[in-house]
Structure 1
Amino acid sequence: MEQEQEDGFDACCGCLCCEKNFGPCLGKGGLAGWKRFEHRFWQHQMYEFNFYVYPKHLLLMYAVMFVALTTLGVVVVVGETQVVTTDRVRYDNIEQCDVGPMFSGVKNCTVTLTLEEPVTSPTVFYYGLRFFFQGVRTYKTSFSVQQLRGEFPAPDGYEDMCDPRITSGPTSPPEPFATQEPDILLPCGVLPFSIFNDTLALFKDSELTDPVSVSQTGLTREYEVDDLYLPGPSDGGYTTAVNDFITSVNFISWMRASTFPTLLKALYRIEEDLAAGTYYVQIGSAFPVSEFDGEKFIFMQQLNYLDAGSNLYLAIVLFVFGGLSLLMVVWITFALLMDKRRNRYEEAPMEVPMEVPMEVQSEASS
């Protein structure tokens, strides 16, 4: 026992193990110190910190919010004025570009984009679809995460996530798709299988001999390239064409399902300055849209100093919340002023005389 008492904390099996070793476990103060702590704990006498919010604190908070939100809104609006963009040119309604309700072959055509003024780099070339509801849950979740990560062999049942496009059907899969045992489309799912497959090339002249220098650098996010879309092994059915397809910028951009029925996808980043004038887009049209009354269009847009395109809606949201913050500042200030006026003219409470018992009065008179 003496050895156990000398060893202190090492002498017991835990602070609540037994009373005879309780003192060494608790260290200085022993059991009496623990009793005092326990008493304060159960009587709610522990140390505490209370932050009391007064109207002046709210007034300061809303004032700071008003200044910050309004400043950000002005920054966004100034950036908006620096954005130069072309008109959105629809091309599915052009006879040479119309592939009909079902794909029957690539249609080649040329459309023009006009810049009203010269722009400095960077500029982004976009394609878009209208009335294409990519955000439908059963559509945007129809793909296999394991397949796109290059995992082989994949866990059992992974193909169920690709329903209803699990196999290519009785025909062989189109390029660049392949087949994975047992007869599973690679990559499977409606979202990958319905990828936008029009080809778009930008030129400076009508003879289509002077192409605009473009790249796809910076159009993907780091986590997408490093974690989500990875090449797979050849023994798992991952051919070179499949791996290039899964890791391509076009595929990664398409897999970011849009919430709205009008989707915009960045296709190229133009790093050279563009002069004002007409530019020509050579199109290999292969994506049918007439079956669902959709539309296909293209346009170019310069990025501003925030490295972003046109986003006037963000400025509107910032100004709206800044205005609400200003209203709160006015309302709290008015409430404080009225409260001070009311306290200034408030009458002092009347003193009510205290009744003296009869016994005390008789004793005092005697």
Structure 2
Amino acid sequence: MSIIKERIRPVFPFTAIVGQEEMKLALILNMIDPKIGGVMIMGDRGTGKSTTIRAIADLLPQILIVQDDIFNSHPTDTDLMSDMVQELFKNGDTLPTSLINVPMVDLPLGATEDRVCGTIDIEKALNEGVKTFEPGLLAKANRGILYVDEVNLLDDHLVDILLDSAASGWNTVEREGISVRHPARFVLVGSGNPEEGELRPQLLDRFGMHAEIRTVKDPALRVKIVEQRSNFDQDPNACVIQYQDKQNTLKAKIAQARQLLDDVEIDVRLRMKISQVCGQLDVDGLRGDIVTNRAAKAFAAYHGRTNVLVEDVKRVIVLCLRHRLRKDPLETIDSGTRVMQVVEEVFV
């Protein structure tokens, strides 16, 4: 009897996705600079949100980790190491390494706090004096992408934990006086349908970018999207081969942009104008200013430049600010349009 090995189904190629440029750009910029702070994608059902998000991980180069480490610890960067690996590193021990694909972790809607953060085995700690930690999804997502579908239906307490970890880069689990801390650097990507409820404004503000997507109305484009999906479902491998060159080109472009990012500079006059826009829009806090500066730099790096242009700022500013505006129930104008109106006034 022959044994048939189960094959891993190929992922739909990112470059084969038709339309939804805003969502694709937001994801690419977060891959270039994870410090932008993740992206929230809100839109109608069946618009390819999950497909696009799962496809982006395929464009990232493999990462070097300490072999068999449950936290995907970096072999030389102490900020990306677990405490145990840090000790070995400081002692000068040789750390065996291996290459892995960038982790892409899905957080299920019914996940508990233990499942997300991990748990400490108290019984073993008390009886044997051994600190045993069962890693959660935050540990698995370290140095990768954590995707939360229907984030607006997730318990607010869990969303708080995710956003805190994403911002600080660390997850701490404490139980009965025993504490375990590990790195949790990941790009947080959330998606949802606004009809099923909005995210609280103070939580929404913590996402670096906010992309809105709508169902495509153009019949020709709809036919093209359906054809792409049908072709992939019929023969996934052929579809992957067809787009391999485009995938490789985009992968190289993202890798080059990551290398260039530290050299990108933004003129003080542009920074002043970004802050002027945020002030006129009455954006709370300084997060909007910071994220817009970061996103504009990432956009410039993506296009192979070390200086940020006015066009770069205009291209990213709506993504960075639209979800930070105060909601007025009587307002008829779209928040993205409001941002662009002020941008056009300021950037003259």
Bigger helix share: 2
Query: Which structure's relative contact order is higher, taking Cα pairs within 8 Å and 6+ residues apart?
Result: 1
Structure of greater Rg: 1
Same fold (TM over 0.5): no
| TM-score grouping bracket, smaller chain normalisation | under 0.3
- How does the TM-score come out when normalised to structure 1? 0.21
- How does the TM-score come out when normalised to structure 2? 0.22
